[in-house]
Amino acid sequence: MNKVVTGADQAIADIQDGSVLMLGGFGLCGIPENCIAALVRKKVTGLTCISNNAGVDDFGIGLMLRQRQVRKMISSYVGENAEFERQLLSGELEVELIPQGTLATRCLAAGYGMPAIYTPAGVGTEVASGKETRIFQGKEYLMELAFEADFAIVKAWKGDPHGNLIFRATSRNFNPLMAMAGKITIAEVEELVPAGQLDPDQIHTPGIYVHRIFQGTSYEKRIEQRTTRTR
């Protein structure tokens, strides 16, 4: 099955106001830059974004925050974005902070078809407020529900028309987990190759999880904070 679409605008065309989105990446590494730019152009609003972080003020999810497109952020780290902080403190943005391992495992559970997980992370803290706990072998665990996302938007290094994906080095991060977990998964890739050119032993995400794929353009590959010293 050929899952190739012409570009980011076609790939995200059916994302509507109020959608729940998973967005791959860690910091600015491995983020779906082209799809985020297309969402900004589309001007959808009321979005719930599940992402490890919220980008920076002028890049990544930060671009959507600046346009007031995000209603709720579900993240594990949000410390690089002044506009995020402003919206949080002013009450404009709903935020759910989650331990990073819990974030990853809730993605994994969704991909595996598991309704919930039990984890010791967050027990006895504000994270556990209002949530069910159980004792296993004398230790208390917190029940966390699998995510339910309308769309998962990921970025890979290479892909083919069937949707098979290969990620490169640390840009793999949350992308394979989220690719498994969305009801509809959209993948942008740096290089789209003909079917049969990818080594099956090197594929990280099988095409069965991917519904749309396209070759992206103009990747900036920014670094969040650069610290240098004089010689």
pLDDT of 175? 97
The pair phi, psi for residue 60, each rounded to 5°, is 65, -150
Specify the range with the lowest mean pLDDT, choosing from 6-10, 77-81, 155-159, 214-218. 77-81
Q: Is 90 exceeded by the pLDDT of residue 204?
A: yes
- 74's enclosing H/E stretch is strand 70-75
pLDDT of 92? 95
pLDDT of 229? 86
pLDDT of 5? 97
CA geometry: angle 74, 76, 77, nearest 5 deg: 110
pLDDT of 198? 97
Amino acid identity of residue 200, one-letter, is P
Give the integer Cα–Cα distance in Å for 42 and 12: 9
Q: Are 203 and 176 in contact (CB under 8 A)?
A: no
pLDDT of 225? 72
Mean pLDDT of all residues in 186-203: 97
- pLDDT tens column, 130-186: 999 999 999 999 999 999 999 999 999 999 999 999 999 999 999 999 999 999 999
| pLDDT band at residue 206 using 50, 70 and 90 as cut-offs | very high
CA geometry: angle 21, 63, 172, nearest 5 deg: 55
Domains and CATH numbers, the chain: 8-116+147-215 (3.40.1080.10)
Q: Which two tokens stand for residue 53?
A: 């972080």
| pLDDT band at residue 37 using 50, 70 and 90 as cut-offs | very high
Q: How many CB atoms lie within 10 A of CB 33?
A: 24
Give the integer Cα–Cα distance in Å for 10 and 151: 14
pLDDT of 220? 82
- pLDDT tens column, 62-120: 999 999 999 999 999 887 788 999 999 999 999 999 999 999 999 999 999 999 999 99
Q: Is 90 exceeded by the pLDDT of residue 45?
A: yes
Chain mean position to CA 195: 26
The pair phi, psi for residue 212, each rounded to 5°, is -140, 145
